[in-house]
Each structure stands twice: as structure tokens, then as C-alpha cells.
Amino acid sequence: EAQVTQNPRYLITVTGKKLTVTCSQNMNHEYMSWYRQDPGLGLRQIYYSMNVEVTDKGDVPEGYKVSRKEKRNFPLILESPSPNQTSLYFCASAGLRATNEKLFFGSGTQLSVL
């Protein structure tokens, strides 16, 4: 089954404790992206990657890091989480071969930073 897998589904942590949210896709997609979703603000892009070893900032990259060492994986790293990073996070992937390629989303990670 084609899917984007995110883990964990829920995460509660404390300020300053480094954490990683994993994302993996099995569709051989070139494009991967991280979004955060907050009430009244919609989905905002954090980082994206066009292919292995190619990453770039989205609209709200501060406080986040990503890496793309393998095509299927795109982890999101919070080196020193702060309460304002409490949010619902989604990983997504898409192919780049056709203009109508749609984004496939993971099931989301609800992060709470205390």
C-alpha cells in the first residue's frame, strides 16, 4: 500500500530536549515536505526536499532541521524545542514527473512542548 508513515503519532516533551519525528514514504517520490498546522493559520511549510541531499527552507523554518540522506526518509529535528513549537505536524511527499502530482500526507504528529 502506498503511504507516508510518520512516527510518533503523539509526543509530549519538555523545553530544550532534542527530538526527532521520522517520516518515510514507499512511493519513490522525489519531493518531500514538512508542514505544521495551527488553528487559524492553516498548514505552513517548514522545510522541503526536491531529492536526496537537496533541502530548502519553507515559510517557517526557524527552530527546525531536516536531512535527506535517503530518498524514502525525511526526518524533522527539533534541536531545542520550545512551547511555541507545540503543533500538529504533517509530512508529505509527491512525485515530480507530472504537473498534476498530488501531495500524499502522513497521519500527523501531535507535539506538545511543556
Partner 1 sequence: GQNIDQPTEMTATEGAIVQINCTYQTSGFNGLFWYQQHAGEAPTFLSYNVLDGLEEKGRFSSFLSRSKGYSYLLLKELQMKDSASYLCAVRDGVTGGGNKLTFGTGTQLKVEL
Q: Which residues contact partner 1 by CB under 8 A?
A: 31, 33, 35, 40-45, 48, 50, 56, 58, 88, 90, 94, 96, 99-108, 110
Task: Please report where in the chains the cell 501531495 appears, as a residue.
Answer: 103
d(CA 12, CA 26): 27
CB of 57 to partner 1, least distance (A): 10
CB of 77 to partner 1, least distance (A): 21
d(CA 110, CA 90): 9
Nearer to partner 1, 58 or 63 (CB): 58
CB of 6 to partner 1, least distance (A): 9
